[in-house]
Amino acid sequence: MKERILKLARKVARSPKEREHAVVVFEDGSEAWVRGSWRATAIPLYSPAHGRAIAVIHTHPVPRETPSLADLRTLITMSRMRAPAYLATVYRVDGEALVTLYTATRALSPHEAEAVLLGALEYERLHLETGFNRLASEKQAREQHELLKFVGITVERYRLML
């Protein structure tokens, strides 16, 4: 599955940067390509014809070192429907796609989900108030990735040439 996700990440990275773009992979292997606005995309997590979403690969039009609150909610919801669940964020810069792959290896309990979302909320506020700050973002990434690892979500980063 990882190879397929990285292949799709390379494709979605070539999408225009003025909007978010996503690819959803369903249980039956089919794909849905979704185009959103410059700040959000509505991701279908279930299709009567194709089943549940097992992977979401989407662009971030601005640099981020960590998943957004919406990313985490999507991954947690998918993990409750089916595990493993995959969410990849893609940011394009200088002819490369920076891909972060989050894999929920099991369903998170309500308590774990709440802890993850509350932790992310603090950094969302920081980003809104101060804008992107590489040092704050690196600190957030370390802290958030440790918590994600503790609750069964793996984090992998890739640099793909376009």
Average pLDDT over residues 67-75: 92
Report how many domains make up the chain.
1
The answer to whether residues 157 and 100 touch, using CB atoms and an 8 Å cutoff, is yes
**11-29 pLDDT, tens digit each:** 999 988 778 899 999 999 9
Q: What is the CATH number for 52?
A: 3.40.140
Task: Output the pLDDT for position 24.
Answer: 98
Task: Provide the residue range defining the domain that includes 131.
Answer: 2-161
Whether pTM exceeds 0.85: yes
d(CA 46, CA 53): 6
Compute CA distances 141 → 4, 11, 120, 148, 156, whole Å.
25, 25, 10, 10, 12
The answer to whether residues 65 and 72 touch, using CB atoms and an 8 Å cutoff, is no
* Position 97 confidence tier, pLDDT thresholds 50, 70, 90: very high
Task: Output the pLDDT for position 132.
Answer: 66
Beta-carbon contacts of 11 under 8 Å, excluding residues fewer than 6 positions away, are 23
Two structure tokens written together for 129 = 């108030």
d(CA 116, CA 123): 11
User: pLDDT at residue 85 above 80?
Assistant: yes
Average pLDDT over residues 134-149: 81
Q: Are strands 51-59 and 85-93 parallel, antiparallel or unpaired?
A: parallel
**DSSP letter (8 states) at residue 16:** -
Average pLDDT over residues 91-113: 94
